[in-house]
Structure 1
Amino acid sequence: MRDTRTARPTLETVARLAGVSRATVSRVINGSEGVTPGVREAVDRAVEQLGYVPNPAARSLVSRRTDSIALVVPEPAARMFSDDAFFTGILRGIGQELDAADKQLVLLLASTPANHGRITRYLRARTVDGVILASLHGADPFPSELAAMGVPAVASGRPLSGGVIPYIDVDHVGGVRAAVEHLLAQGRKRIATIAGPQDMVAGIDRLAGYRGAVAAAGMRSLVEIGDFTRESGTTAMRRLLDDEPAIDAVFVASDLMAEGALRTLRRERRRVPEDVAVVGFDDATAARSTEPPLTTVRQPIHETGRMLAQQVLRLASGESVEPAVILPTELVLRESA
């Protein structure tokens, strides 16, 4: 015979102790209306006395809510868990808001077609209440798939596949324009760029901002493409110096790539900023500790994460949200420029 003294409390045992029906206990636990304060107090006392913990799976079947939000990132784990300031800041912001709302974060990495299919099936089963998409590449099908499934979803960055779901982004073009105009005001004559990947909206828009600013100044574009990693910044800076040794300034589309560019410039004995001024983008923590400290365009990464979580929670509650929110950027001046 089972020892009932150690058995896990059930709705029935709570109901017996509180002197109410099982259905009443269920309504109290799920926060339903129509329960008198006295009955609610009796159920709460019974729950505390018995140490009753609701079964999340059973509860979600009744409420059709899982109290979970998925963050889907189409990147390999090595990139996600590197020292990339974007992912760290986004996670901190999202986590802060979901903790305050008593929601669980589920991280899903969709770096391969097989992973993509598995995650799509997982989300189609309504295993989460909403989805945040980050680091989208090209015409990624996730936004349109989620819209077709009716899953509440919001994207970090404008989806290149079109405006199917709401998104939060930053003013990439305006931030880069401010950086290039600052370099022009210093009298720099040959301003190059190390752009980000051209299958991502951040890479595309930051390159567009650079091209527009140098064209307005009557200069020609000097462009190398990186992938937002430190190593690609090192390589791209080397190529720029080989192609145009007289470069006197470079805008780099991420602080990690700017760190790599500074490494190459030191190796080539180019003084920063005397010979070559360097400006990055992000204002990562490392920007303050580079040699010299990095002038950069600050984007509100943590705030972006918080707003993404706020928006998806609103959508999951049946509210409407703005189709696009564009956050401002700010040029932060340090010794590198």
Structure 2
Amino acid sequence: MSGVSLQNVSKSYGSLTVIPDLSLDIAEGEFVVFVGPSGCGKSTTLRMIAGLEKVSGGQIFIGGRDVTWERPKSRDIAMVFQSYALYPHMNVADNMSFALRLAGTPKSEINERVLRAADMLELTDYLHRKPRDLSGGQRQRVAMGRSIVRDAYCFLFDEPLSNLDAKLRASMRTELALLHKQLERTMVYVTHDQIEAMTMADRIVIMKDGVIQQVGTPKDVYNTPVNTFVATFIGSPSMTLLPGELSDQSGSMCIQGSGFELPIPDRLKSRAGASPTKAVTMGMRPEHFAAEARTAAFAPVDLEVKVAEYIGSSQFLAANLGGQDVTAAVEVGPEADLLGDGQYFFDTSRLYLFDRETGRAL
């Protein structure tokens, strides 16, 4: 078995269990992102893969080899931390080559690896500079270069972009995605930022309270969330959840709630009809609202707009629907005035339904 495999891995600190039972297979060359709120266990999982945390149970395989009890240096991994952790008295080249020099790698090979990594990360012109003379993004690239020169089987990233400003984070996301294509190595990335997860990952692992909630491609977890936690965690602004009741009027199934009555889309009718309860939760993504009906699937809803935020061609609306808070992202063009109270339209073909008691998707 190649790649990284976690089999029934658990982690406890005394009587406190943070990872009860986690199993996951990561294919060789895959870019997998662990995402979730603070305290969900994603960094602990990464540190167990790295060998920085001992497992309480289960096994970890890297490249088909059982490394459960091996030391970090024997696991053929390279790790990039949230902190750059650069040596301030060394220049870029020396920082990048430090581990190789410590391992006694021949000087000619060190120079070749450093130059190759520097070229890849656009650091060639900065090799003789000290960390204090670099920007935050350049320092993070040096930290990544230090890992790249090791030519490891697997690269681990623990929230490496969280110290950067928003614009730099966006450009670094692109650089990391390109780096993965160039290296073609297995990468495991941890973040609490779902935008990072959506834009970089081959697959996303969404965690809550030490338990994997869903594993899938960005498209899978966005379009078919398995429960209300995933539905509200993935997507920005997040999905609005409203309580409702299923009803069948003259053979037409719909969902009714405070201030709305919307038809059930065809893709959900069989599952809604088989639901053991009529009490459900309806999910509405903000981007599925519109100022006018575009197709027959768009149904009218009356919104009381509390705040309208201008973001160019769209406006974010913090609104009220039947006494309940909803968020809508309405495309109206950059010249439109700020929107107000009135009738809007929701694309019912993109409606979501969840069991109100369990939170599981219907």
TM-score by length of 2: 0.25
